[in-house]
A and B are shown apart, each in its own frame.
Chain A
């Protein structure tokens, strides 16, 4: 999805503007090539369509709340469907997916939660990739003691059982979406992502242009952030996708177990169903279980599929012979 290698200087005396133009053209070309590869994997496209669908749902919610939906009835947390006589009410024209045992509109909850899932996933992914690329690049650039310390620390992080850590933490401190995203980001950023990005960075560090940058008087910070990190970006985009899957999944599990202090989420919707005792009445009260569970499954697998498709784009060894 991004540039594979730093572009070579094109003109004999390149000005900053012309250089940027060349760089942009090269980026556009490789983007088009990679897009073609991505489309040819098919599974990636399926994932992308699902993600777009949920993105639209998430963006529609505030619009609907301000125009069509009455706040007293359709609020995902404190609303109550006065127009239904029995709660949970089956799907009807005013409530397309029915209402939950507390009389709240399921569709509204679903759309409201979609937004927070996206924010959670995005934040966790950004934190992971920022930490992971920085740690990986620093470990590869300096080597020696720095490398040993960072990588042994990464080993510990990898061995920590994620969900169990989150459960113990939620017993100790109150965990909300923001804290959850940070914790997941830190765990995976210092752990597995750092290890894999470091091994990629090792192959970048030995390239001649790093030597050239050093000869031209570039300091460590300049070399790490201007020359190494951009070359790690394609791979880190891949890990972003897997982190999003992990973050959404962990959130759903924890809120399903009732361990998170969140206002509304897909996991919490199932928790509500369980608390009200409708969990095994799958046939009679399907709208209490299926929309939320399917959303979690679909969104998780779509990010995973996109990640796998990107893997085939980035990793030349997986390409067709």
Chain B
């Protein structure tokens, strides 16, 4: 089950905790993986850790032209086809709405939502022709339940839900699925920097009483990317330790 041998995958934001875990998991199932991100040295480190079947494609998703070029680059690297697109990259610029700058809004929407739109548009072209494809975007539990101080981030993640549903409906007859994985609180360098009070407040909201791990998000992505999930499309798979049961 969930064999991805011979498949190709592009993972954005692969230098992050979750993105790296996704790249490792897809690779572990046999896929050839292109890892993308803004920090070339971190990408190279990930690539040398994984060994064979890995390509590094540095890309700043805030740069429109770089985004437009990424999928064609990946297809060329793979020798023609991209089977699995994982829109994972995301940034935060937190602040209360009343004080939020336009630039904080624009930057977050550009990377989290607009880049996913552009990459999906580019990827779907070839997938339509081949009658096969998987687009998995990484949302967030806050896209469904909201979170103070993050109107930009929450809007971008809720936007991904809508993008996923509309896209799923458009391309369903072509053997292409689009789904969203919505993580809850996941252990990362960001959560490592929280103090004990902050950690306690977060864990108080999670029935499982612990943070999630990157590989637990990656497992959901592997499933949605696999042939076994062929009949699942337009869905949000929440992986959050029970903190929101939707």
Whether chain B is bound by chain A comes out as no
